[in-house]
Structure 1
Amino acid sequence: MRKIIYSLLGVAFLFSACEDRLDIEQKGVISFDSFYKTDDDAQNALNNLYQSFCLNIAGNEGIYVALPLLFDEAGDDMLAAGNMYGDNDFGAQINEFRYDSQNEVIKNTYWGLYGVIYDCNLILDNIEPTTSIKKRVCAEARTLRAWSHMMLAIAWDCPPLVDHILKPSDKPANNAVEGGHNGLLEWCAKEAEAAVADLDERESPSDKVGASKVTKGFALTVAGKARLFKGDYAGAKANLEQVITSKKYELVPTERWPNLFHASGDLCEEMIFQANALENAAVGDWSNKIQRTSWMWIQFWNWRTDKLATKPSFIGPDGWGGHSIRADFAERMLANDGNSPRRKATFLTGDEFLYEMDWNGTKGENLTRAELEKSPKIGIKDPTGLYGFAGYFANKFVAWPEDNEKGWYGFKNLTIFRYAEVLLMYAEACAQTSDPNGLGLKCLQDIQKRAGSAHLSTELTMQEVKNEKSYEMWLEAVRFPDMVRWGDTDGVVNNGKNIPTTYDAFFTKNEPIHRLYVETSNPNKGQTGFVKGKHEYFAYPFAATSINPNLKQNPSGE
């Protein structure tokens, strides 16, 4: 496979819009006056943009990849876990709706998206699209700028629209776009649609390069999602149907569904666009932001194997156990999917955790079920149990050994869109309008059949689409925004109350065989849980409002 190399060229001029520079000739630095002139200049500027995207979205400062955490932690299908109460508090604040404007997940997501927008504007303000290469470069930048604004709109309602390089004195206001939230989404859709004509198309489902850059399929997906979120279902259908009928994307077969979330699934036929961190020239020493964050990403999602009797053999590095799956969601998915490959790759039941996993401590012993039930080499040994776990064990993003390809810290690409989401969005748009040719129902059924689900929809309804999307897209940064736009937030009003911990009676009560049990506690003081009219959109970071008096705070930050 040809590597996608993201050049560091451009770092020298990244902040060249700043005023009051010393009037001294800088050796080895390319000035604005002499750059952005040739096709090579344009391509190098684009390489810098992709570099920026990886740094800001797949590897921003902190101990996590902020964007998926922001949209997942607030959902009704997961819990913020950790070693104990207070551990992973940056995530727990989001999960329990007790965050404020200084929460670092919020801050890093916000600045990361505007960091991408800045580098898009560097291209769009300085390159005249006079050649086919320059037109493509500008179209890719235009689409990434539209995607970034769309994600900002989804998270913050109507944040500032920044379509050019700002002067130091500029203080852009939010809610300044005509039409407010929907007006900004309309702008995003039109920008992505306008870029399509100048973009490359993915050559085929096997084209890995085409899954690591902005293509026609990605731009149409951005436009389709923006229109779906503003309630323009006919427009969403028109965009998303083009992605489907292009035949450039395919669902991976059932047996490869788990691989979608690991290195072996990177840039596969189902990926529409991934932040290509794995094959990035910036991957370097320990101090590198991408590298460090990727290590922390795996640490965050992996189980705390130090609390177990021995380590499960399928897990790569140890982790901090930063998340878990809610029992009510796990039970709904279990009832829907049964023992489907998708369900088992998403989470394990307590029985599967104890007796169907390979434990390093019992490896090669070929123990019977009865022998395993009495073995001290499996189960939850720590007397403090697994805090935040509700008797089920999230499996989807627990890193495999293959995810350590770049070293012990772990590494993989960050998926921005995969084809399954396109099919589900298209099915929703059809459910909200009409499905005369049955394509919407077929898209929904294709997802269910691929999953091996016990349930197959016989009609296309919004409830069927909602259910299926919650199962297929769990922890893929879509659940909370969907809940908000659907008005389905009742399931998070009690977040932060009755926090579970899972124990193993074999160790804590000296029972003769393993038995997992759950106890709840209420360590939080004060208000927790989603409040309607307050928490639909996140707080603007204090770091932004403190320097911009025109930025009006959302209710969640007041």
Structure 2
Amino acid sequence: MKKYFLLLLSVGFLVSTGCNEDQLDIPQKGVISVDNFYQTDEDAEAALTVVYYDTHINFSFMGEVTGYNYGPYFALTNFNSPDAWLAGSGPEDCVDERAYQQFRYTNDNLVPLGGYTAFYRSIHKCNLVINNFTTERLGSLTATMQRCVAEARVMRAFDHMMLGIYWGTPPIVTTVLTGSDRPTNAESQEAVMQWVANEIDLALPHLEERESPSDYEGAVKITKGFALAVKGKALLWKGDYAGARDALKQVINSGKYELLPSENMHYILHGKGKGSPEVVFEFNAVYVPGVVTNLQRRAGWNDIMTFNWRFENMASLADSQIKSGGWGWMNPTGDFARDLIDNDGMDSYRRKAWIKTYDELLYDHKWAADPADWTPGSDGANAYKKTDVGARGVLANKSIHANEGYFIWKNVPHVDQGDVINEGWAGTWNKNFQIMRYAEVLLMYAEACAQTSETSDDADGLAALNAIQNRAGSNYVSTVLDLKDVKNEMRFELWLEGDRTVNLIRWGDTQQLKEVGSYMPDLRDALNYGEGSEHGVYIDASKATYYKDTYDIGFKPGKHELLPFPKRAVDLNSGLKQNPNWD
């Protein structure tokens, strides 16, 4: 598909921009007209590549809407998680984003606007493929054209599914809209999910299947496996648990996907995990020296800085594991970290791949003051580390906002894994943009089995759940298929991979959402701050209730089950009815 890249840029401009009607008859040199395009297999491949490229960059970066610090897709699906605090430098940082997390956002908040815009931009590009490669227009379609239409159809279905999950009744858009079109709301969330499932069924006969778990190309394009996973997720949201179970079981039985080994869990969401056996679908980001050198629009413009630890408030690091410099926008909540440790144990593969404790930051990373022959740990000859004031950890006059002594490791760049390419002022993150991995398929299947009244598939559901627990190295392994255990595993395994809050809403488990942001203390170093004889965690709770004291925070039943349609969309579309209690 790469050979069509330059052609696609011109096609994208042709189909998505307006022009003066008086100039429409003036031939443009080097531009292919719409009437002459959408004719051949090559045109179909080119148009489909626009779908992949445009969807990818709009999911990962939308500077004109959400700014340069994060991508709309990650923000929409993770910034509202009750298991990670929006931190940054403090109350004046991450303002719209923290409002989104604490359920005090309005209908013009940037986070929902970015996600909503990204999905409908993708739908537009999908419709250009689906609507132009038809038997009505061309008489007959080749196998290549049918495959391209099918892949676009699945992407469009995925977009609508996500819109349905977050907004409930988004307009189902199946044509290329004109300026006069006013699409109306879908009948119901259930209707959206059934439409998604039906679209997948139309696409399946024409899709290719991943060849094997080692097939890289099959991980970075839309296949039968991804399509069935989307169908299963949509039916899970519809409440058709038997239908979801059957669709997801086909993915499992295909044998095309495998969980990464326990010792490689730290590859997940990182460079070494690109196209791995666990990937069901992710957008490809290829670094080509001298040709494609800046992957910022593919991996998130400033993601390295945004999610990396807030190093400016710490002593100088000289560590090969992680890139220095960062703004620390997200930290695991103390409750999440403690619950993960209680469930898995400190030594579990998952705990070590997902989060770091402050002690690990202090003693298992090399600081500038450490000798050249530094080794990890703080025992024996390394005992000096515990009392070297100012040489490591959070500086005396600094703190880490919204932190109880735990740090993200899952979503920060691992330099020693080849995550960072030294291009651009902050470097480029060498990773693909993941949409779904096999662990989610297994957990959705386990839930579907647990939610159905019949028990014939309970053994298979338990096996799927156990596969996740055993790979994690968890101290807790279920002996019966229990919905509570499935929910817990979804929380731990899929942390910061999206949909935590909406799943809690779907299950009716919203109590903890009412308390989001009510307690957000700061982390200081006990020794450096003068509150201890050794380096360690000192929790400064003096302003921990700032957000609760200042704002009306927390989930409100009857309102926050769905996001508001963006004010901009409602103002421009008289056919779009706002969600309840958002007018």
Compute the TM-score of the two structures, normalised by the length of structure 2: 0.90
Q: 1:214 to 1:309 in 2, by over 3 A?
A: same
CA displacement 1:35-67 (0-9 Å, x = unmatched): 111111111111111111111112332220121
1:301 aligned onto 2:307: yes
- Which of 471, 485, 489 lines up with 1:450 in the alignment? 471
Q: Which letter does structure 1 place at the counterpart of 2:306? A: F
CA contact (8 A) 1:302 1:398 kept: yes
Residue 329 of structure 2: which of 312, 322, 326 is its match?
322
Matched, 1:527 2:555: no
Matches within 5 A, 1:397-436: 397-401=411-415, 402-405=418-421, 407=423, 408-433=427-452, 434-436=454-456
CA 1:540–1:153 in 2, change beyond 3 Å: closer, same or farther?
A: same
Structure 1 residues 132-177: Cα deviation after superposition (integer angstroms, max 9, x where no partner): 0000000000000000000111111111110111121011122xx3
Give the equivalent residue in structure 2 for 1:334.
Answer: 341
Q: What amino acid is the match of 1:344?
A: K
TM-aligned CA deviation for residue 556 of structure 1: 6.4
How far does residue 252 in structure 1 lie from its aligned partner after superposition?
Answer: 0.5
Per-residue deviation at 1:355?
Answer: 2.6
CA–CA distance in structure 1, aligned partners of residues 144 and 429 of structure 2: 35
Alignment TM-score, normalising by the size of structure 1:
0.94
Partners in 1 of 2:465 and 2:2 — Cα distance? 33
Unaligned runs of 5+ in 1: none
What is the CA-CA distance between 1:300 and the residue it aligns to? 1.4
Q: Does the 8 A contact of 2:71 with 2:301 survive in 1?
A: no
The answer for the alignment partner of 2:15 in structure 1 is 16
Aligned equivalents of 2:48, 2:289: Cα separation in 1: 14
Match of 1:7 among 1, 5, 8: 5
2:279 pairs, out of 271, 274, 295, with 271
Deviations 1:452-489 (A, max 9, x none): 11111000011010011111000001211211101111
RMSD over aligned Cα atoms = 2.2
The aligned counterpart of 1:47 is: 49
Does residue 371 (structure 1) correspond to residue 380 (structure 2)? The answer is no
Q: Distance in 1 between matches of 2:582 and 2:396?
A: 38
Equivalent residue runs for 1:107-126 within 5 Å? 107-126=113-132
What residue in structure 1 maps to residue 397 of structure 2?
A: 383
Q: Residues 369, 530 of structure 1: CA spacing in aligned structure 2 closer, same or farther, 3 A cutoff?
A: farther
Secondary structure of the residue that 2:302 maps to in structure 1?
helix
Return the offset for 1:275: 1.3
Question: Contact 1:387/1:501 (CA < 8 Å) preserved in 2?
Answer: yes
CA pair 280-369 structure 1, distance change in 2 beyond 3 A: closer
Comparing 263-272 and 531-540, the one that deviates more: 531-540
Q: Which runs of 5+ in 2 are unaligned?
A: 136-140
1:553 is matched with 578
Does the 8 Å contact 2:531/2:538 carry over to 1?
A: no
Separation in 1 of the partners of 2:240 and 2:288?
37
SS in 2 for 1:214: coil
Query: Which of 235, 238, 251 does residue 246 from structure 2 map onto?
Result: 238
Which residue matches 2:138?
A: none
Hey, what does 1:475 align to over in structure 2? Answer: 496
Does the Cα contact within 8 Å between 1:6 and 1:281 map onto a contact in 2? no
Q: Alpha-carbon deviations, 1:112-150, whole Å to 9, x = none? A: 110100000001111126110000000000000000000
Equivalent residue for 1:465? 486
The alpha carbon displacement at 1:523 in A equals 3.0
- Tell me how far apart the structure 1 counterparts of residues 119 and 183 of structure 2 sit (CA, whole Å): 16
Letter of the 1:106 counterpart: P
Go from structure 1 to structure 2 and tell me whether the alpha carbon gap of 1:336 and 1:184 turns closer, same or farther (over 3 Å shift).
Answer: same
Question: Once structures 1 and 2 are overlaid, which stretch shifts more, 17-26 or 324-333?
Answer: 17-26
Residue pair 2:359, 2:536 contacting (<8 A) in 1 also: no
1:156 and 2:156 equivalent?
no
Q: What is the CA-CA distance between 1:194 and the residue it aligns to?
A: 1.8
Structure 2 SS opposite 1:33: helix
How many residues in Structure 1 have an aligned counterpart in Structure 2? 551
Structure 1 residues 359 and 41: alpha-carbon distance in aligned structure 2, compared to 1, 3 A threshold: same
Which moved further from structure 2: 344-353 or 120-129? 344-353
Match of 2:354 among 335, 346, 352: 346
Bigger mean CA deviation after superposition, 63-72 or 326-335: 63-72
Residues 340 and 451 of structure 1 are in contact (CA less than 8 Å); yes or no, is this contact kept in structure 2? Answer: yes
1:359-383 per-position Cα deviation (integer Å, ceiling 9, x unaligned): 3432524463531111232211152
1:495 aligns with one of 513, 516, 532 = 516
Aligned pair partner of 2:370 in 362, 373, 387: 362
Q: CA deviation at 1:216?
A: 0.4
One-letter amino acid matched to 2:325: D
One-letter code of the match for 1:267?
G
Question: What's the offset of the Cα at 1:193?
Answer: 2.1
Q: Structure 1 556/393 Cα, relative in aligned 2: closer, same or farther at 3 Å?
A: farther
CA contact (8 A) 2:168 2:189 kept: yes
CA spacing shift, 1:275–1:466, aligned 2, 3 Å = same
| CA–CA separation in structure 1 for the residues paired with 2:494 and 2:510 | 17
Match of 1:92 in 2: 98
Q: Distance in 2 between matches of 1:278 and 1:93?
A: 35
Identity, in percent, stands at 39
CA contact (8 A) 1:313 1:360 kept: no
Distance 1:470 1:13, change over 3 A: same
| Residues 61-84 of structure 1 deviation map (CA, whole Å, 9 limit, x = unaligned) | 222012122222212211101112
* 3-state SS, counterpart of residue 34 of structure 2: coil
Contact 2:296 2:302 in 1 (8 A): no
- The residue type equivalent to 2:436 in the other structure is F
In structure 1, how many angstroms separate the alpha carbons of the residues matched to 2:237 and 2:471?
26
Letter matched to residue 370 of structure 1? A
Match of 2:232 among 202, 221, 224: 224
Please give the secondary structure, in 1, of the residue aligned with 2:74.
helix
Moved over 6 A (4+): 280-283
Residues 508-528 of structure 1 deviation map (CA, whole Å, 9 limit, x = unaligned): 126431131212323332311
